Amino acid sequence: MICPVCSCLCDDIEIVDGKIMNACKRGCEFFSKYEENRSKPLVEGREVNIDEAIDAAVNLLKQSKSVAIYGLDTTVVEAQKKAIELAEKLEAYIDDNSSFCLGEFVEAVLKEEVPTTTLEEVRDNAYVMFYWGSNPHYSIPRHMSRYTYYPRGRKRPRGYEEDRFLVVVDVRRSETATLAKKNARFILVEDDLELIDSFFKVLEGKAYKYSSDAAIILREMKKSDFNVVFGGLGLKYGLKDLKPFFDLVNKLNEVAPLYFIPAGFHGNMRGFNETLFENVGVVNRFSFKEQNSKEEFAFTELLKREKIDTALIVGTDPVSSLPFEVSLKLRKIKTIVVDPRNSLTARIANVVIPSAFSGLETSGTMVRSDGVRFKLEAIEEREINDVSILDRLVGEL
């Protein structure tokens, strides 16, 4: 069974005698509690049947002048395609969490601005591994043990102490940083740009703030024909502009092969990015009315600037995840929530359409953080799911 919680999409989960085997704490919470706190079909707080809820959603969408479709990172690619179709039909904005998550990294990978690889290749070949601004301990707990640092690979049979070199770059001593012991380096940075500059300076033969660390890492990189860097949110928010980082990755490739993989995010965020990219050439915050993508089309910005009158929120909970002053604006607009869970957003929504959990109650495709596609099989297929709900909305509009 595949766990759809984070972008690791671990495919070795088993349920034996009611015990959930191999899943991490996050995955386990999902599998053990999916039946709790389920949403019910609601229109203006009144319980209705599912058809009435969908009809109410259709009416709301018909009446509205400016719609945004938001979320979609936890659903399957098939539903994401339907959502894009719906956005096109409504000339709506469409965005997901990647506009404030790692969307820019995925975009650079899809546009082939940096070389990338798969996690299986990493396991079999990689020597130097950077975790830059990423602490997998919280967000993607099995990343290191399942795919990167700890497993033995075809060309790396001797285990992490000899066959891997771990580099952790962070602004604090994270849990991952405590694992950087033998054959490893932890670099505590104040500004990511200074470390990037240090690498450039060392290549020019000059000294700079972190040049001793950079020199050691470069020496290690030259020992291998396969090195990898995982960039996390810390890196994205540490840099105002990501270009110097991508320039560095490309520059270091002149020294030794270095691949880039975004560290981790929601289960199928990359799926949304890829699906939208195939359709319109950008990964997020797209306006079908203006046929382009701008920073101000991000869902958070649309709310702040009060550009929309209706939001269709699929499988995400902005009330709990967005800053209070942003989510407060949801009160001013009409909201339609498609979610299996009675989330905080569902509690304030005008229309709630209960859905099914993707990967558990809906079969479909999801995309791992490195772009590998997985076919998820539901253990109990539900008729009403994100795909069928969005399909009905497309049909009735």
Partner 1 sequence: MPITPMEIYKWLPKTNCKKCGEATCMSFAFKLLNREKKLEDCTPLFEEKKYEKQREKLIELLKPLEEATETGLIVDEDLCVGCGNCVVVCPVHVELDPKGAAIGKGPTIDDPILRVENGKVKVINMEACRRYGKNRVLCVVCRENCPTDAIRFLEG
Question: Given candidates 6, 23, 84, 92, which one binds partner 1 under the rule CB under 8 A?
Answer: 23
37 counts as binding partner 1 under rule CB under 8 A: no
For CA atoms 302, 305, 310, 313, the dihedral sign is positive
207 counts as binding partner 1 under rule CB under 8 A: no
Closer by beta carbon to partner 1, 20 or else 216: 20
Query: What is the C-alpha to C-alpha distance for residues 123 and 275, in angstroms, rounded to an integer?
Result: 27
User: Per CB under 8 A, which region of 171-179, 214-222, 292-300, 329-337 contacts partner 1?
Assistant: 171-179
- 384, 79 contact by CB (below 8 A): no
Closer by beta carbon to partner 1, 136 or else 318: 136
The β-bridge relationship of strands 184-188 and 334-339 is unpaired
25 counts as binding partner 1 under rule CB under 8 A: yes
Helix (H, G, I), strand (E, B) or coil at 42: strand
349 counts as binding partner 1 under rule CB under 8 A: no
Query: What is the C-alpha to C-alpha distance for residues 301 and 293, in angstroms, rounded to an integer?
Result: 13
- Determine how many CB atoms are found less than 10 A away from the CB of residue 303: 23
CA dihedral 38, 40, 45, 51 (to 10 degrees): 160
Closer by beta carbon to partner 1, 160 or else 357: 160
Across 282-395, where does the E strand assignment appear? 286-287, 292-293, 310-314, 334-339, 351-354, 364-367, 373-376
- 66, 309 contact by CB (below 8 A): yes
Question: Given candidates 14, 47, 162, 194, which one binds partner 1 under the rule CB under 8 A?
Answer: 14
- Determine how many CB atoms are found less than 10 A away from the CB of residue 240: 8
Minimal distance in Å, beta carbon 175 to partner 1?
4
Closer by beta carbon to partner 1, 53 or else 122: 122
137 counts as binding partner 1 under rule CB under 8 A: yes
Question: Given candidates 2, 7, 27, 276, which one binds partner 1 under the rule CB under 8 A?
Answer: 27
162 counts as binding partner 1 under rule CB under 8 A: no
173 counts as binding partner 1 under rule CB under 8 A: no
Closer by beta carbon to partner 1, 180 or else 338: 180
348 counts as binding partner 1 under rule CB under 8 A: no
Minimal distance in Å, beta carbon 171 to partner 1?
17
The β-bridge relationship of strands 364-367 and 373-376 is antiparallel
The terminus-to-terminus CA distance of the chain in angstroms comes to 36
240 counts as binding partner 1 under rule CB under 8 A: no
Minimal distance in Å, beta carbon 28 to partner 1?
3
Provide the mask over 117-136, with x wherever binding to partner 1 is found by CB under 8 A and - wherever it is not.
Answer: ------x------------x
Q: Counting every residue, how long is the chain?
A: 397
Query: What is the C-alpha to C-alpha distance for residues 177 and 217, in angstroms, rounded to an integer?
Result: 16
Minimal distance in Å, beta carbon 55 to partner 1?
41
Question: Given candidates 53, 144, 282, 322, which one binds partner 1 under the rule CB under 8 A?
Answer: 144
Query: What is the C-alpha to C-alpha distance for residues 49 and 185, in angstroms, rounded to an integer?
Result: 58
The CA-CA-CA angle for residues 30, 34, 40, to 5°, reads 140
Query: What is the C-alpha to C-alpha distance for residues 226 and 397, in angstroms, rounded to an integer?
Result: 51
178 counts as binding partner 1 under rule CB under 8 A: yes
Helix (H, G, I), strand (E, B) or coil at 168: strand
Q: Tokens 């991000």 — which residue?
A: 298
Closer by beta carbon to partner 1, 160 or else 199: 160
Minimal distance in Å, beta carbon 118 to partner 1?
14
Helix (H, G, I), strand (E, B) or coil at 362: strand
Minimal distance in Å, beta carbon 89 to partner 1?
42
176 counts as binding partner 1 under rule CB under 8 A: yes
379 counts as binding partner 1 under rule CB under 8 A: no
323 counts as binding partner 1 under rule CB under 8 A: no
Query: Which residues sit at the interface with partner 1, rule CB under 8 A?
Result: 12-14, 19-29, 32, 123, 136-138, 141-142, 144-147, 150-153, 159-160, 175-176, 178-179, 181
